[in-house]
C-alpha cells in the first residue's frame, strides 16, 4: 500500500454557475461527502485533507519578489487536497474517477504518489 495526494482543481466560474442555489450547493456537498465516505469505508482515506483559500501570495525565484496570486479566476487553482491510500498509481487514479470535482469539464484531480523513502 502506498500514499497518494489528490489535488482538486475546479474553476470558480463553474462553481458559481452550477451551484448558484442553496439546494444545488447542498446536493454537491452531499455528493462529495458520499464519495469520500465510501473511500473511507473501504480503507482508502488517510486524511480528508483541507480546503485551500483560492488566492494567496507567490514568491518568485531569483528576485524573491512577492506577488499576489494565484487568482481565483484561473483554472489551475488548487482548491484542496486529500491523502489517499491505494496499492498503486493505477488504483489511486481509478478511485479518483468518482470525484464530483470532475463533473465540471474544467475540473481535475491530480493524483501524485508520495515519494517512498
Partner 1 sequence: MEPADLHDHLFRHEAGRMTAALTRLFGVHNLALAEDVVQDAFARALDVWKLQGPPPNPAAWLMTTARNRALDVIRRERTARTFAPELSRLLESEWTASAVVDEAFARDVVLGEQLRMMFSCCHPALAEPAQIALILNILCGFGAHEIAAAFLDGRAAVEKRIARGKKTLAQSARLFDLSDADVATRLSAVHRALYLLFNEGYHGASARDAVRAELCEEAMRLAALLREHAVTRTPATCALSAVMALHAARLAARVDESGELLPLWDQDRSAWDANLIAEGRALLDASATGDDVTTYHLEAAIAAVHAAAPSLAATDWHAIVGLYDGLMRVAPSAVVALNRAIAIAQRDGPDAGLAAIAAIDGRERLDAYPFYPAALGELARRRGDVAAARAHFARARALARSDAERRYLDRRMPGSDGSG
Per-residue exposure over 39-63, b if at least 16 CB sit within 10 Å of its own CB, e if not: beeeebbbebbeeeebeeeeeeeee
**Contacting residue, 17, 20, 94, 112, with partner 1 by CB under 8 A:** 20
Query: What is the smallest separation between the CB atom of 15 and partner 1, expressed in angstroms?
Result: 7
For residues 32 and 48, what is the distance between their CA atoms, to the nearest angstrom? 11
Query: Would you say 37 or 87 has its CB closer to partner 1?
Result: 37
Number of other residues whose CB lies within 10 A of the CB of residue 18: 14
Q: Decide: is 42 part of the binding site for partner 1 (CB under 8 A).
A: no
In the complex, which residues of this chain contact partner 1 (CB under 8 A)? 15, 19-26, 28-30, 32-33, 36-37, 48-51, 79-80, 82, 100
Amino acid at each position: 500500500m502506498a500514499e497518494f495526494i489528490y489535488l482538486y482543481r475546479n474553476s470558480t466560474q463553474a462553481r458559481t454557475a452550477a451551484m448558484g442555489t442553496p439546494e444545488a450547493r447542498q446536493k454537491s456537498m452531499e455528493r462529495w461527502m458520499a464519495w469520500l465516505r465510501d473511500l473511507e469505508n473501504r480503507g482508502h482515506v488517510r486524511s480528508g485533507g483541507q480546503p485551500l483559500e483560492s488566492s494567496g501570495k507567490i514568491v518568485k525565484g531569483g528576485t524573491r519578489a512577492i506577488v499576489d496570486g494565484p487568482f481565483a479566476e484561473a483554472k489551475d487553482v488548487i482548491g484542496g487536497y486529500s491523502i489517499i491510500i491505494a496499492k498503486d498509481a493505477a488504483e489511486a487514479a481509478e478511485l479518483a474517477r468518482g470525484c464530483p470535482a470532475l463533473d465540471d469539464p474544467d475540473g481535475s484531480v491530480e493524483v501524485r504518489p508520495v515519494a517512498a523513502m
